[in-house]
């Protein structure tokens, strides 16, 4: 029997409009970019906008020189104060006030005060035969990175001045010796074309891969649950009186894929607008696009092929199961193919041309995410891109064909869930 493309189009239209018209679609489409933006920049912003009074840290000096030097040492931020990073570092430097412990105080008595909340912390300074200075911090909260960063900066500044004094050199030399060389990064592209590197070169491939992962998981699970609901409510029996199982399955997958693409377009427009609304980003935008047109094209292709690949599996699971608990058991093995590239994300970005990374970028199960990570890190040879897309397309056709056979039989079955040998027998049947 020939495929009725009119039926597939009708199902695509139904699935698309049913989801786009929901208020939840509008809310998630508009709110999600804002949530991710807050997750990325909230830690830095919170560091800049320091809340609460500075911590009260007492200094117990057993060296005879380090206590006064640490208190007097300047803890200057290394970054420019005009940048967010520089403001965050400046806030860290002001996170505590250091005061010398009274002479009658000892370590045990101060620890009691810390435990009672009268003092926030204690910096114990002791002589050391090798390093000249041993520093230990006592406090109820020892996980405050701002405070520890400030103490580390002051300790090293005081130690350098002490060493200069021991060599008979002027202490003012410490400021000159603490100067750092700034490392600029230049990304070299094909043909020798260059542009200034930025943090976006690290975040962009992660962002593209995350979008693929999130969309496939979110809508793939929606397809699985939708198939299970229609099966249990007997709605599918009515639909199948007018359309074949294959037409129903592909119509659902294509319709929901269209919803995902629409969200892509809206998210990209919102993200671009938010990025370019910052005047500091306009200069980097004029120097070169962080996202190349090729990357956008690959994002669409890998999303469509990867979505059909995984959604076919989700649809088959929904057709063979009878309860939500059963679908959750089978959902995890399917998700492994998407989770593995994220687990290996950092090694992938560090060695994007390693043989095992190339293999994962060609293997259909992991290629949608791994290849996007690679293209964001380096220039991937065109033959590898072509081979990856071709293998993914072949894998998608094979998985969709097998899933359609499982879907055709399982969608009308009720009662006990079929075993794996039974499912394999359905696939082998003509």
Rg for the chain, CA atoms, rounded: 30
Q: What is the mean pLDDT of the chain?
A: 78
C-alpha–C-alpha distance, residues 310 and 316, integer Å: 10
In the prediction, which pLDDT does 99 show? 87
The yes-or-no verdict on residue 404 having pLDDT over 80 is yes
* Average pLDDT rounded to a whole number, residues 388-413: 87
Q: What's the N-to-C CA distance of the chain in angstroms?
A: 13
The yes-or-no verdict on residue 277 having pLDDT over 90 is no
Would you say 93 and 77 are in contact if contact means Cβ atoms under 8 Å apart? Answer: yes
10 Å CB burial of residue 149 (0-12, 13-18, 19+) is: middle
Q: What is the 3-state secondary structure (H, E, C) of the chain?
A: CCCCHHHHHHHHHHHHHHHHCCHHHHHHHHHHHHHHHHHHHHHHHHHHCCCCCCEEEEEEECCCCHHHHHHHCCCCCCCCCCCHHHHHHHHHHCCEEEEECCCCCCHHHHHHHHHCCCCCEEEEEEEECCCEEEEEEEECCCCCHHHHHHHHHHHHHHHHHHHHHHCCCCCCHHHHHCCCCCCCCEEECHHHCEEECCCHHHHHHHHHHHHHHHHHHHHHHHHHHHHHHHHHCCHHHHHCCCCCHHHHHHHHHHHHHHHHHHHHHHHHHHHHHHHHCCHHHHHHHHHCCCCCHHHHHHHHHHHHHHHHHHHHHHHHHHHHCCCHHHHHHHHHHHHHHHHHHHHCHHHHHHCCCCHHHHHHHHCCCCHHHHHHHHHHHCCCCHHHHHHHHHHHHHHHHHHHHHHHHHHHHHCCCCCCCCCHHHHHHHHHCC
Ramachandran assignment for 102, one of left (phi > 0), alpha (psi -120 to 50 degrees), beta (any other): beta
Position 82 confidence tier, pLDDT thresholds 50, 70, 90: very low
In the prediction, which pLDDT does 18 show? 84
**311, HSE (Cβ side, Cα atoms, 13 Å):** 27
In 3D space, the residue among 343, 337, 334, 390 whose CA is nearest the CA of residue 362 turns out to be 390
* Average pLDDT rounded to a whole number, residues 412-430: 75
In the prediction, which pLDDT does 213 show? 86
In the prediction, which pLDDT does 171 show? 66
The yes-or-no verdict on residue 89 having pLDDT over 60 is no
The yes-or-no verdict on residue 283 having pLDDT over 60 is no
Distances (CA, A) of 269 to 21, 274, 279: 20, 9, 17
List the CATH code of the domain at 54-179: 3.40.190.10
C-alpha–C-alpha distance, residues 256 and 222, integer Å: 9
Would you say 290 and 284 are in contact if contact means Cβ atoms under 8 Å apart? Answer: yes
Which is higher by pLDDT, 171 or 98?
Answer: 98
In the prediction, which pLDDT does 1 show? 56
Would you say 321 and 226 are in contact if contact means Cβ atoms under 8 Å apart? Answer: no
The yes-or-no verdict on residue 358 having pLDDT over 90 is yes
* Average pLDDT rounded to a whole number, residues 82-109: 69
Position 81 confidence tier, pLDDT thresholds 50, 70, 90: very low
The yes-or-no verdict on residue 364 having pLDDT over 90 is yes
Distances (CA, A) of 197 to 44, 95, 377: 21, 32, 11
Which is higher by pLDDT, 392 or 328?
Answer: 392
Distances (CA, A) of 157 to 65, 153, 192, 397: 13, 6, 43, 64
C-alpha–C-alpha distance, residues 45 and 253, integer Å: 41
In the prediction, which pLDDT does 84 show? 47
* Average pLDDT rounded to a whole number, residues 27-40: 72
**Percent above pLDDT 90 for the chain:** 11
C-alpha–C-alpha distance, residues 47 and 85, integer Å: 9
In the prediction, which pLDDT does 307 show? 87
Every domain of the chain and the residues it spans: 5-42+197-428, 54-179
C-alpha–C-alpha distance, residues 308 and 254, integer Å: 8
Position 5 confidence tier, pLDDT thresholds 50, 70, 90: confident
Position 309 confidence tier, pLDDT thresholds 50, 70, 90: very high
Structure confidence by residue, pLDDT tens digits, 116-143: 888 889 999 998 877 788 999 998 888 7
In 3D space, the residue among 387, 392, 388, 422 whose CA is nearest the CA of residue 310 turns out to be 392
Structure confidence by residue, pLDDT tens digits, 179-209: 566 666 666 666 666 666 555 666 777 877 8
Interacting residues of 218 by C-beta distance below 8 A, sequence separation 6+: none
């Amino acid at each position: 029997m020939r495929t009725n493309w009119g039926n597939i189009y009708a199902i695509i239209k139904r699935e698309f409009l049913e989801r786009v018209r929901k208020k939840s679609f509008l809310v998630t489409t508009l709110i999600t970019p804002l949530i991710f933006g807050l997750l990325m920049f909230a830690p830095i912003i919170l560091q800049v906008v320091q809340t609460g009074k500075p911590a009260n840290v007492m200094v117990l000096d057993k060296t005879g020189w380090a206590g006064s030097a640490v208190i007097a040492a300047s803890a200057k931020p290394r970054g420019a104060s005009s940048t967010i990073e520089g403001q965050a570092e400046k806030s860290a430097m002001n996170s505590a006030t250091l005061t010398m412990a009274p002479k009658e105080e000892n370590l045990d008595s101060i620890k009691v005060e810390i435990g009672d909340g009268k003092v926030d912390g204690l910096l114990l300074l002791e002589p050391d035969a090798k390093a000249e200075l041993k520093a230990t911090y006592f406090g109820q909260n020892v996980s405050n990175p701002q405070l520890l960063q400030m103490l580390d900066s002051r300790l090293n500044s005081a130690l350098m001045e002490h060493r200069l004094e021991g060599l008979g050199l002027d202490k003012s030399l410490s400021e000159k010796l603490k100067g750092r060389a700034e490392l600029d990064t230049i990304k070299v592209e094909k043909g020798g074309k260059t542009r200034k590197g930025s943090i976006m070169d690290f975040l962009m491939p992660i962002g593209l891969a995350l979008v693929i992962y999130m969309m496939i998981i979110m809508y793939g699970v929606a397809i699985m649950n939708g198939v299970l609901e229609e099966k249990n409510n007997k709605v599918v029996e009515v639909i199948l009186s007018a359309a074949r199982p294959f037409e129903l399955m592909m119509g659902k997958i294509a319709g929901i894929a269209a919803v995902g693409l629409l969200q892509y377009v809206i998210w990209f427009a919102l993200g671009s607008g938010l990025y370019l609304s910052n005047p500091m980003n306009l200069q980097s935008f004029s120097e070169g696009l962080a996202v190349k047109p090729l990357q956008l094209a690959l994002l669409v292709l890998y999303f469509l092929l990867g979505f059909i690949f995984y959604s076919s599996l989700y649809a088959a699971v929904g057709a063979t199961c009878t309860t939500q608990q059963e679908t959750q058991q089978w959902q995890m093995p399917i998700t492994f193919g998407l989770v593995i590239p994220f687990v290996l994300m950092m090694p992938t970005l560090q060695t994007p041309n390693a043989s095992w990374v190339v293999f994962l970028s060609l293997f259909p199960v992991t290629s949608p995410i791994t290849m996007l990570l690679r293209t964001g890190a380096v220039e991937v040879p065109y033959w590898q891109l072509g081979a990856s897309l071709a293998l993914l397309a072949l894998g998608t056709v094979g998985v969709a064909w097998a899933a359609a056979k499982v879907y055709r039989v399982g969608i009308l079955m009720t009662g006990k869930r079929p075993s794996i040998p039974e499912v394999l027998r359905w696939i082998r049947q003509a």
